[in-house]
């Protein structure tokens, strides 16, 4: 009943989303109903993106971070992490091998590392922009001020990933220390939008203390923000954090939410994440078959891969970029979709 209403209207009220998610958890949505949702999600995805799966070359260029998000393995307090930073040359070398492998989007992701100042990042972005005019540059380095975001846009960055983590203020408090607020995260997202970035928000599924009410708020926040990208993946505990004994999020609920998000925001760029592939060996394939249309293989040098350990048992930390791409290409082909070598911008609605 509620699912039918959602499929018809493309949105629900907070209380209704909560109830729909409760029904999912209780197993009271029939197989037939779930299949109808998947079919709708897949039809929408194919309407905007056909059978194409876009790839992003992920460069995890620093694991230094000044923050202490309770869930994250590379938080500042974790003294067991061997910290690294990639030099400009190393980043450019990742781009070079990525370009040769067919990547046309580079994602520079890292902790909030004060070493990469506005000026230093500007230099890196300009150099990549100059060498690869046909590629998109995506940044994912956390919360900065308007000036900094503006300078990086001006230097040639196209997209910015900043998961909102949770749109429920009380839940936000349980995941982050004093000084980090949903309000500020949200303001950053609107800032980025106003500067003309293609913006990505998102959240973890099954993060500690998450309720279906918080997830309902997440869905309504996404509807309000209208991001170009939404990154969701299961929460996975990390042995050095205070959440080490908390249960992981499930692939099933993540896949369900991927379909829900595709219906909510039909043209959105939606990755099947590494975390999804970590909790379930077939997770990324399941994500693609549920409405996701992006994958983000790792381009970082193998020598540092294991040090960018946000959570335990992260997959793809031992493979060279070429291997990683080849493996994903085969996995995607097995789903009936095709990995393509394109920038892969968001489709117009």
**Is the distance from CB of 249 to CB of 206 less than 8 angstroms?**
yes
Alpha-carbon distance of 95 to 101, in angstroms, equals 10
Residue 274 CB, nearest distance to ligand SAM (Å)? 9
CA distance 43 to 289: 11
**x/- track of binding to ligand SAM for residues 58-97 (CB under 6 A):** -------------xx-------------------------
Is residue 138 within 8 A of residue 158, CB to CB? The reply is yes
Nearer to ligand SAM, 112 or 252 (CB): 112
User: x/- contact string, 117-156, with ligand SAM (CB under 6 A)?
Assistant: -----------------------xxx--------------
Which residue stretches of 209-346 are H helix? 212-225, 251-264, 274-279, 283-289, 302-305, 321-333
Least distance in Å: CB of 162 to ligand SAM?
5
Do residues 167 and 214 touch, judged by C-beta distance below 8 A?
yes
Q: Does 106 bind ligand SAM (CB under 6 A)?
A: no
Q: Is 225 in the site for ligand SAM (CB under 6 A)?
A: no
Task: Assess 163 for contact with ligand SAM (CB under 6 A).
Answer: yes
Is 171 among the residues that bind ligand SAM (CB under 6 A)? Answer: no
Determine, following the binding rule CB under 6 A, whether residue 235 of this chain makes contact with ligand SAM. yes
Kindly list the strands in the beta sheet with 136-140, ordered across the sheet, starting from the edge strand earlier in the chain.
Answer: 57-62, 105-110, 136-140, 159-161, 198-205, 229-234
Return the residue matching tokens 């990154």.
231
Q: Which residues bind ligand SAM (CB under 6 A)?
A: 71-72, 109, 111-112, 140-142, 162-163, 165, 204, 233, 235-236, 238, 275, 310-311
């Amino acid at each position: 009943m509620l699912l039918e209403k959602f499929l018809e209207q493309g949105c629900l009220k907070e209380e209704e989303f909560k109830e729909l998610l409760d029904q999912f958890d209780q197993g009271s949505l029939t197989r037939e109903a779930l299949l109808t949702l998947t079919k709708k999600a897949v039809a929408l995805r194919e309407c905007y993106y056909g059978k194409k799966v876009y790839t992003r070359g992920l460069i995890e260029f620093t694991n230094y971070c000044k923050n202490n998000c309770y869930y994250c393995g590379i938080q500042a307090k974790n003294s067991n992490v061997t910290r690294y930073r990639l030099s400009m040359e190393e980043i450019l070398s990742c781009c070079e091998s990525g370009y040769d492998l067919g990547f046309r989007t580079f994602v520079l992701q890292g902790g909030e590392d004060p070493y990469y100042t506005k000026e230093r990042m500007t230099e890196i972005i300009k150099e990549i922009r100059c060498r690869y005019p046909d590629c998109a540059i995506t940044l994912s380095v956390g919360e900065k001020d308007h000036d900094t975001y503006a300078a990086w846009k001006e230097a040639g960055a196209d997209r910015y990933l900043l998961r909102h983590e949770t749109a429920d203020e009380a839940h936000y408090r349980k995941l982050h220390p004093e000084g980090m607020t949903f309000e500020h995260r949200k303001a950053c997202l609107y800032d980025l939008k106003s500067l003309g970035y293609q913006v990505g928000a998102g959240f973890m599924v099954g993060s500690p203390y998450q309720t279906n009410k918080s997830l309902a708020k997440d869905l309504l926040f996404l509807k309000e923000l209208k991001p170009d990208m939404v990154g969701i993946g299961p929460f996975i505990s990390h042995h050095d954090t205070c959440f080490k004994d908390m249960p992981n999020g499930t692939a099933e609920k993540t896949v369900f939410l991927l379909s829900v998000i595709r219906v909510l925001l039909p043209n959105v760029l939606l990755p099947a994440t590494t975390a999804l592939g970590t909790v379930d060996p077939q997770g990324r394939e399941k994500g693609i078959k549920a409405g996701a249309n992006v994958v983000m293989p790792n381009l970082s040098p193998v020598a540092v891969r294991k040090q960018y350990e946000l959570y335990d048992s992260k997959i793809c930390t031992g493979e060279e970029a070429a291997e990683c791409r080849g493996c994903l290409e085969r996995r995607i082909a097995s789903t009936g979709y095709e990995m393509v070598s394109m920038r892969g911008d968001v489709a117009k609605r």
